[in-house]
């Protein structure tokens, strides 16, 4: 989950532990001030009665790590991001202090917080079907007679491959988040938990010096068979059962991951383990780079400021587009399973609305003096702004409505009536196209250029809207084919990256082409109208504006054939 998505939060659900009244009062005042809904429940109570899946919800836990774990149990299955506030004593997971709560929430609402994806572990066994964020422990059951045998014997398989028999106190199967608990005490490795999706098997008090911890992927199916009675605990006892001899359990990574919100007011991971676990690779809890904040730097010039604005805009646009892609992917999955046309229309409308709200909120937070022009919303500031954002939150609506993956998000920054920065994001393939005028174009961070083909009969062409079939009829036999994808922004990006040698659009809208235009030009494309005159970007939509784009070498031949097509009616 992207942190920019949190800027659209309109509801907070708080899980409150005893002795957290002060933090709850602070949260109540803050939500009232920002016109955000607030529901609070005690630890252990069901949030189903207050949760509305149609509202952008943030989960907050007020308590220690126990309350945080209850929050994960509650929020993760609902895909709700969670912020932990420490009102306890030794908290390792809940790392925002009550005095920083308001500032941390302001950061969240501005979309500047980060969201960690945390792997969870899932176990099924006789009497248990549970998920945890820390670990699953299988241990011996203490005998009634203290002099009887006190070891557990466990046969362990990974994807049906026999690992071996573990003999000792037992095993811990932990996530990276849980690597600093029981696993660390048993000499297991410490895993950096941020976006780390693995599981580790750690023997507890093994009776064999050669037995070492094992790291596996979350897709690995671990089967463990008991060779005697054993105790199974999830997250320290939040789920628990006693297993009999020859009972079998299955442990894998959970399908749902926990989304943990991190702000600059949290202790970072290595700071937290320095404070709480005696990590002695550094003497202080404050990282060394913090001591360099007083270093002076040259005063930026006007040119530097302009460059910084565009580069910062690229960062914000990238984050906003990726964040907007999340609900689009979620809703795209729903539209594929809906047969009723009216319901599909509702989903597409909701997809447009959610994506537009995320992007415009992110841009508005970072650049309050900029104008915004979106297909889904009106211009939001005065016309005298130095910069204008042109946004299409869902280009390729028809494709989206039919479950086709060829749709995209288009975000552009305009200065002096010309696009200077563009981002096109393709949610279903996770492709990201970006460009800054004069600096180049990139796909997923790698530079891209147009092709250098000169012959039509060796070229692949893309057609956009072509109502009379002119482009198709006059170029299909002359080339290696004409394709139609249904997204003008994608057409321009594929021209830029060399996936096509030329594109044609009979009619264009500014929000469809603003970002793709700068990306294609920055990659070396030639863009003209149907007569060969340079294409001029404009926000006017009251007249037809044709667009012909190519790698440059093909342009004369394209214009010749296109002119013939425009003067000769299609058969």
Q: Residues with Cβ < 8 Å from 524, sequence gap 6 or more?
A: 449, 450, 496, 551, 552
Q: How far apart are CA 105 and CA 214, in angstroms?
A: 39
Q: How far apart are CA 223 and CA 245, in angstroms?
A: 14
Q: Residues with Cβ < 8 Å from 225, sequence gap 6 or more?
A: 154, 155, 157, 246, 247, 248
Find out whether 512 is annotated in a ligand binding site: yes
Residue 410, beta-bridge partner list: 392, 424
Contact 329, 347 (CB under 8 A): no
Cα 23 to the chain's mean position, in Å?
29
The SS3 of residue 546 is coil
Find out whether 430 is annotated in a ligand binding site: no
515: tokens are 């970002």
> Strand locations in 292-387, DSSP E?
371-374
Cα atoms found within 13 Å of the Cα of residue 392, Cβ hemisphere only: 27
String of b and e for 428-440 (b: at least 16 CB within 10 Å)? beeebbbbbbeee
Find out whether 395 is annotated in a ligand binding site: yes
The SS3 of residue 176 is coil
Find out whether 135 is annotated in a ligand binding site: yes
How open is the CA angle 64-65-70, to the nearest 5 degrees?
105
Find out whether 394 is annotated in a ligand binding site: yes
- Exposed / middle / buried, residue 230 (Cβ in 10 Å: 0-12, 13-18, 19+): buried
170: tokens are 């037992």
- How far the first Cα of the chain sits from its last, in Å, is 51
Q: Residues with Cβ < 8 Å from 533, sequence gap 6 or more?
A: none
Contact 253, 136 (CB under 8 A): no
Find out whether 275 is annotated in a ligand binding site: no
Q: How far apart are CA 403 and CA 303, in angstroms?
A: 45
Kindly name the residue from 29, 45, 65, 304 that is annotated as catalytic: 65
Find out whether 66 is annotated in a ligand binding site: yes
- What is the DSSP secondary structure assignment for residue 376, as one 8-state letter? S
- SS3 string of 254-266? CCCCEEEEECCCC
Q: How far apart are CA 471 and CA 378, in angstroms?
A: 33
- Exposed / middle / buried, residue 472 (Cβ in 10 Å: 0-12, 13-18, 19+): middle
Measuring CA to CA, which residue among 132, 237, 139, 239 is closest to residue 186? 139
- 235 is an active site residue: no
**CA trace torsion 97, 103, 104, 105 (10° rounding):** 120
Binding residues for Mg(2+), as ranges, are 375, 392, 394-395, 512
Binding residues for NAD(+), as ranges, are 65-66, 134-135, 150
- As annotated, the active-site residues are 65
């Amino acid at each position: 989950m992207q942190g920019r998505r949190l800027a659209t939060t309109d509801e907070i659900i708080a899980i409150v532990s005893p002795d957290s009244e002060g933090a709850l009062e602070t949260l109540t005042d803050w939500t009232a001030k920002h016109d955000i809904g607030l529901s609070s429940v005690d630890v252990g109570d069901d949030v189903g009665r207050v949760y509305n899946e149609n509202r952008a919800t943030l989960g907050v836990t007020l308590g220690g790590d126990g309350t945080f774990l209850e929050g994960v149990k509650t929020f993760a299955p609902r895909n709700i991001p969670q912020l932990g506030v420490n009102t306890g004593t030794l908290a390792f997971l809940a790392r925002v202090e009550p005095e920083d709560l308001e500032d941390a929430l302001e950061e969240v609402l501005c979309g500047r917080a980060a969201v960690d994806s945390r792997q969870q572990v899932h176990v099924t066994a006789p009497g248990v079907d549970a998920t945890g964020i820390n670990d699953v422990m299988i241990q011996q059951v203490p005998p009634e007679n203290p002099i009887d045998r006190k070891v557990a014997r466990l046969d362990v398989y990974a994807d049906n491959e026999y690992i071996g028999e573990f003999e000792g106190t037992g095993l811990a199967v932990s996530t990276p988040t849980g690597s600093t608990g029981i696993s660390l005490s048993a000499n297991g490795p410490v895993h950096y938990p941020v976006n780390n999706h693995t599981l580790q098997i750690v023997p507890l008090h093994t009776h064999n010096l050669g037995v070492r911890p094992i790291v596996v992927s979350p897709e690995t199916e671990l089967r463990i068979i008991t060779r005697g009675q054993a105790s199974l605990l999830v997250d320290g006892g939040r789920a628990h059962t006693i297993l009999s001899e020859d009972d079998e359990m299955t442990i894998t990574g959970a399908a749902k991951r926990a989304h943990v919100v991190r702000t600059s007011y949290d202790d970072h991971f290595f700071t937290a383990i320095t404070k709480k676990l005696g990590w002695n690779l550094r003497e202080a809890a404050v990282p060394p780079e913090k001591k360099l904040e007083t270093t002076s730097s040259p005063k930026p010039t006007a040119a530097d400021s302009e460059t910084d604005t565009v580069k910062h805009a690229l960062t914000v646009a990238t984050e906003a587009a990726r964040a907007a892609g999340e609900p689009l992917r979620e809703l795209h999955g729903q539209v594929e399973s809906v047969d009723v046309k009216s319901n599909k229309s509702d989903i597409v409308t909701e997809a447009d609305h959610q994506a537009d709200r995320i992007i415009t909120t992110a841009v508005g937070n970072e650049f309050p003096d900029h104008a915004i022009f979106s297909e889904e919303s009106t211009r939001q500031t005065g016309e005298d702004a130095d910069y204008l954002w042109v946004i299409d939150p869902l280009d390729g609506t028809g494709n989206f409505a039919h479950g086709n993956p060829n749709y995209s998000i288009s975000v552009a920054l305009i200065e002096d009536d010309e696009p200077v920065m563009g981002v096109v994001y393709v949610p279903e393939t996770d492709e990201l196209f970006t460009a800054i005028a004069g600096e180049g174009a990139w796909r997923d961070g790698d530079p891209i250029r147009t092709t250098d083909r000169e012959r039509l009969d060796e070229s692949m062409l893309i057609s956009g809207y072509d109502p009379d079939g002119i482009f198709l009829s006059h170029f299909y036999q002359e080339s290696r084919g004409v394709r139609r994808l249904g997204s003008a922004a994608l057409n321009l990006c594929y021209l830029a990256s060399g996936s096509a040698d030329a594109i044609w659009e009979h009619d264009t809208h500014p929000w469809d082409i603003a970002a793709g235009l700068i990306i294609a030009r920055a990659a070396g494309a030639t863009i003209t109208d149907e007569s060969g005159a340079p294409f001029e970007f404009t926000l006017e939509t009251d007249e037809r504006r044709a667009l012909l784009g190519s790698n440059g070498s093909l342009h004369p031949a394209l214009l010749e054939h296109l002119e013939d097509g425009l003067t000769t009616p299609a058969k």
